[in-house]
Structure formats: structure tokens, C-alpha cells
């Protein structure tokens, strides 16, 4: 799914930052509470502690499955040369944040289909493992969890298989920005050769699906009395509709700037500080002279190596600054910093970059990493502004 925002870092997997939104903790503990009750019914009385442990393990495996699903998207994107800023878990699932959109229908299909393919493999492996342990009939019983006396391992494997099948079916609903909607987008894109038209079609499908989910949620709450389930489905529908509208807006913006490169809007004469310059001179010659809050940092060859902020220099006592260089206090331009963009890339590659939101600018570099310019948020806004008739 394609939602999410800022997150708390948990780990790095294959060099990709894994984070969680605060809303994730609510769902995590809710799943544990719900599963503990189900496992209590399955295991019988007097095994509350074991039921709780199984609930915790199952919840971890659930969100592990979501991470693997998003890693499927992320690794497929990286194979196509699309950088991944992070993977975030939140209230309604996960999000692999790509630093640029796909450029062909084939790329779109490969990235969109990779996540569901991983989910299908997880479901098949868990069901096969449960079948090997207890037989296919017991594995099928395990997918229900409630009301059966099952081996704990089989019960967990069966539930994980079931929930991954459910996630697979939900994600394949043909409504953007769900995976099924992205697959539909790739098909329309392939048939028409028009990405803008394909995205518009897919987002409209997404909005239609959201209305069905909201209506279905209201019906479930009124007709069946399952108020919680109905409200939950309606809320998911509302978020899906909101994401579809946001994607539609982004599509219109991207169509407006099609053909515009980063080099077309960047300041081609950036002021940068050498990484070996001592902090005393950096403060006098740059921060006091220009009055800017930060500067890009380059090495002797002019390659971008990081960014240094005024507060980082100010945090060092004045008497120590002559003996410290800029490199010692700068924020390094590592893989997840999001501080750079290729100066020959399309302008749309900037949209959604964390560095642009955090600093108000992003550094444009060539293929060797040499700093070629700086793109500010103001210049991006000017490029996005509709041209007056």
C-alpha cells in the first residue's frame, strides 16, 4: 500500500531503513489482544500465558510478513535502478518509499507484482510447513484458530498463512494505490503508451473501490451488528480514497513538469564548504558572511560528502574550533540521507524527497558525485506553478 509519513527507525535490512509510525503500535497491541483471546479458546483453559506468547509471536510474524511484502517491492525497484528511501509500517499496512516513479509500464508491473508474489510465497510456505507437521486437514483447521485443539506451532503457521492470503486478496483489488491498482495502471500504460492516462484511470478505480468499502462498512455495521468491523472497513475505504485523490493530484503535477530536468531549475553556482576547512574559518567565511543556516560540504575533488549546519558549528567551543574540521561535525551524505539527486534526472525525481522537505533544498550531483548545483523548494514550487494562459 502507499500511505504513511514520518516514522521511528527500527532497523536496516539490505541497507534499507525500516521504520514504524506511531499508529503502528496501536494495531500491534490490538492484534496481540485479539489473538490472545483466540488462542485461549484453541488451547483450552489454564494456558493464558502460552496464548499470550502465541499472540505476540503471531503479531510479530504478521508485521514481518508486511515488511517482506514491502521488501519485495523495494528490491524489485532497486534492481531497476530506483533508489528506496525507506520502508515504513503504519496503521493500515506498509509503504516502500521510492525516490522516483517508474518510467515504463514494464517497470511498473515488475515493482507492483513483486510484493504480492512475496506474500503468496509466505502463505504457501507456512501452509506447507503446517501440513508437514500435522497433515493438510489440520493445517486447514489451523487457519481458523478458534475452537480447535491444535499444536501451537501449527496454529501459528496456519494463521500466518491465512492472514497472508487475506493480504494478497486485498492488495490485488484493482484500485490505485493498492498493488492491484498499480498492476491495472501498468496494463493501461502498456496498452495506451500514456502514463498520465493510465494513472488517471487507476486512481479513479481506487476512488470507486473506496466508495464501495465505505458503503460496505456502513452496511455491515447496520445489517449485521458488527459495528467495529464495519467502521474499520469504512475507515480503510476513506484512507484509500484520500490516497487515490492525492495520487491523482500528483499525476497532474507530474504531467505538468514532464520533460523538465533538475538541471533546468537548479542554482548552477552553489556555495560549498571544503570538508577539511577548520570550523573557525568556516564560521567566519561562510556562516557569518552569507547568513545561511547550512552549506553543502565537498571533498578535494568537489564530490558532495555531506551538509553542515550552523548549530553544529556553534555547538563546538570557540577555542576548539581551529583544531576541528568541517567533516567532524557535518551530517554525512550516506545512502539514506536523501540529500542528493542526479542533475540530469527529471524534476519529478525530487517530489517527496525527504531532504527537500527537511532542508528546504537538495543537492544536484553528476554521475561521479560532484556537486553541480542546489535546488531549493522555492525553485521547485515555481516550476510546479501553472503557466498563465
Q: How much of the chain, in percent, has pLDDT values that exceed 90?
A: 35
Q: When comparing pLDDT for 384 and 200, which is higher?
A: 200
The predicted model gives 189-217 an average pLDDT of 90
Q: Are strands 340-342 and 361-365 parallel, antiparallel or unpaired?
A: parallel
Range in 112-116, 144-148, 167-171 with the lowest mean pLDDT: 144-148
Q: When comparing pLDDT for 46 and 184, which is higher?
A: 184
Q: What does the alpha-carbon distance between residue 243 and residue 385 come to, in Å, rounded to a whole number?
A: 22
Residues 6+ apart with CB under 8 A from 366: 342, 343, 344, 372
Q: Which fold has domain 262-384?
A: CBS-domain (3.10.580)
Q: Are 334 and 236 in contact (CB under 8 A)?
A: no
Show the beta-strand stretches assigned E in the chain: 8-13, 16-20, 84-90, 93-98, 273-274, 294-298, 304-309, 331-332, 340-342, 361-365, 371-376
The predicted model gives 113-134 an average pLDDT of 91
pLDDT of residue 389: 39
H helices of 257-347, in order, are 262-265, 279-282, 288-290, 310-314
Q: Are 163 and 59 in contact (CB under 8 A)?
A: no
pLDDT of residue 2: 36
**Among 78, 145, 144, 69, which Cα is nearest to 113's?**
69
pLDDT of residue 34: 84
Domain ranges of the chain: 8-256, 262-384
pLDDT of residue 310: 92
Chain mean pLDDT for the chain: 84
pLDDT of residue 50: 85
pLDDT of residue 277: 94
The predicted model gives 165-178 an average pLDDT of 89
- DSSP structure class, residue 388: P
Q: What does the alpha-carbon distance between residue 288 and residue 348 come to, in Å, rounded to a whole number?
A: 34
Q: Are 75 and 6 in contact (CB under 8 A)?
A: no
The predicted model gives 351-373 an average pLDDT of 81
Q: Which pairs count as long-range contacts for 57-65, CB under 8 Å and 24+ apart, including other chains?
A: 57/156, 58/31, 58/156, 58/159, 58/160, 59/28, 59/31, 59/32, 59/35, 61/156, 61/160, 62/31, 62/160, 62/163, 63/24, 63/28, 63/89, 65/119, 65/122, 65/160, 65/163, 65/164, 65/167
pLDDT of residue 284: 92
Q: What does the alpha-carbon distance between residue 100 and residue 115 come to, in Å, rounded to a whole number?
A: 18
End-to-end CA distance of the chain: 38
C-alpha to C-alpha distances, 114 to 78, 109, 215, nearest whole angstrom: 12, 8, 30
pLDDT surpasses 80 at 134: no
Q: Are 365 and 304 in contact (CB under 8 A)?
A: yes
pLDDT of residue 39: 77
Q: What would the pLDDT profile of 272-316 be if each residue is shown by its tens digit?
A: 999 999 999 999 999 999 999 999 999 999 999 999 999 999 999
Q: When comparing pLDDT for 8 and 136, which is higher?
A: 8
pLDDT of residue 71: 94
Q: What does the alpha-carbon distance between residue 382 and residue 164 come to, in Å, rounded to a whole number?
A: 45
Q: What does the alpha-carbon distance between residue 185 and residue 54 come to, in Å, rounded to a whole number?
A: 40
pTM above 0.85, yes or no: no
CA dihedral 301, 306, 310, 315 (to 10 degrees): -110
Q: How much of the chain, in percent, has pLDDT values that exceed 70?
A: 87
Amino acid at each position: 500500500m502507499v500511505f504513511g509519513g514520518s516514522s521511528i527507525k527500527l532497523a536496516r535490512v539490505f541497507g534499507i531503513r525500516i521504520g514504524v509510525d506511531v499508529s503502528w503500535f496501536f494495531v500491534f497491541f490490538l492484534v496481540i489482544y485479539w489473538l490472545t483471546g483466540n488462542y485461549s479458546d484453541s488451547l483450552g483453559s489454564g494456558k493464558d500465558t502460552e496464548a499470550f506468547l502465541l499472540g505476540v509471536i503471531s503479531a510479530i510474524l504478521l508485521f514481518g510478513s508486511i515488511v517482506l511484502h514491502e521488501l519485495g517491492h523495494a528490491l524489485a525497484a532497486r534492481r531497476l535502478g530506483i533508489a528506496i528511501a525507506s520502508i515504513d509500517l503504519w496503521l493500515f499496512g506498509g509503504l516502500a518509499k521510492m525516490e522516483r516513479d517508474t518510467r515504463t509500464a514494464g517497470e511498473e508491473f515488475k515493482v507492483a507484482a513483486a510484493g504480492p508474489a512475496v506474500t503468496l510465497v509466505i502463505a504457501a510456505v507456512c501452509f506447507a510447513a503446517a501440513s508437514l507437521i500435522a497433515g493438510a486437514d489440520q493445517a486447514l483447521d489451523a487457519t481458523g484458530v478458534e475452537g480447535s485443539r491444535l499444536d501451537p506451532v501449527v496454529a501459528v503457521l496456519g494463521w500466518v498463512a491465512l492472514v497472508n492470503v487475506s493480504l494478497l486478496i486485498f492488495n490485488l483489488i484493482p484500485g490505485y494505490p493498492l498493488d492491484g491498482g498499480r498492476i491495472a495502471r501498468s496494463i493501461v500504460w502498456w496498452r495506451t503508451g500514456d502514463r498520465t492516462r493510465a494513472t488517471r484511470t487507476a486512481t479513479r478505480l481506487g476512488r470507486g473501490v473506496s466508495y464501495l468499502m465505505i458503503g460496505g462498512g456502513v452496511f455491515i455495521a447496520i445489517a449485521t451488528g458488527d459495528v467495529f468491523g464495519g467502521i474499520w472497513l469504512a475507515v480503510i475505504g476513506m484512507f484509500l480514497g484520500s490516497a487515490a485523490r492525492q495520487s491523482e493530484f500528483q499525476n497532474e503535477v507530474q504531467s505538468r513538469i514532464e520533460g523538465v530536468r533538475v538541471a533546468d531549475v537548479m542554482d548552477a553556482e552553489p556555495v560549498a564548504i571544503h570538508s577539511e576547512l577548520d570550523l573557525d574559518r568556516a564560521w567566519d567565511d561562510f556562516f557569518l558572511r552569507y547568513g545561511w543556516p547550512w552549506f553543502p560540504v565537498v571533498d578535494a575533488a568537489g564530490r558532495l560528502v555531506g551538509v553542515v549546519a550552523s548549530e553544529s558549528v556553534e555547538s563546538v567551543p570557540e577555542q576548539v574550533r581551529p583544531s576541528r574540521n568541517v567533516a567532524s561535525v557535518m551530517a554525512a551524505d550516506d545512502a539514506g540521507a536523501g540529500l542528493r539527486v542526479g542533475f540530469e534526472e527529471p524534476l519529478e525525481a525530487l517530489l517527496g524527497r525527504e531532504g527537500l522537505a527537511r532542508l528546504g533544498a537538495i543537492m544536484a550531483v553528476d554521475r561521479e558525485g560532484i556537486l553541480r548545483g542546489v535546488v531549493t523548494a522555492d525553485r521547485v514550487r515555481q516550476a510546479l506553478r501553472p503557466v498563465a494562459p
